[in-house]
Amino acid sequence: MTHHRDCRVLIVEDEYFLAEDLASALRALGFEVVGPVYELSKAMSVQPGDFDVALCDINLRGSSVYPLTDKLMRIGKPFVFTTGYGADAIPERFQHVPRWEKPYELDKVTTDIAELCHLALAG
């Protein structure tokens, strides 16, 4: 089994049970989980040095996550969108960002995260 102990994943998700399921699945695979964080203001205050990859729900209790993802893009932190929205709802500047439509399959998600972690830590 692959160990991902060196990779810290920030979960930004306002659906409590979904966030907790995702956090548990990632921890079981050896990832270090930061959060889950349920609100944009709290997510914005997490220090970039505290995580390697971020999973970002697009709609956080009525707030858009885009201020956070703009910041992540500026500083070169990899992230993934988790959303109920289709690709056409996402602004052009984020078209290259991986997007998991809810409900997503955890095994596919963990594979994607492992790849992003590998890139983040290799960079």
pLDDT one-digit tens code per residue, 89-103: 899 999 899 888 887
Burial class of residue 36 (count of CB atoms within 10 Å of its CB; 0-12, 13-18, 19+): buried
pLDDT band at 1 (very low <50, low <70, confident <90, very high): very low
Global pTM value = 0.90
Task: Say whether domain 8-122 belongs to CATH 3.40.50.2300.
Answer: yes
Query: CB–CB of 47/72 below 8 Å?
Result: no
Report residue 110's pLDDT band, with 50, 70 and 90 as the boundaries: confident
Residues 11 and 22: beta-carbon distance below 8 Å: yes
Confidence of residue 58 (pLDDT cuts 50, 70, 90): very high
How many of the other CB atoms lie within 10 Å of CB of 53?
25
Question: How far apart, in Å, are the Cα atoms of 53 and each of 26, 30, 62, 86?
Answer: 12, 14, 23, 22
Ranges of each domain in the chain? 8-122
Q: 77-87 pLDDT, tens per residue?
A: 999 998 887 88
Please confirm whether the linkage preceding 103 is cis (ω < 30° from 0).
yes
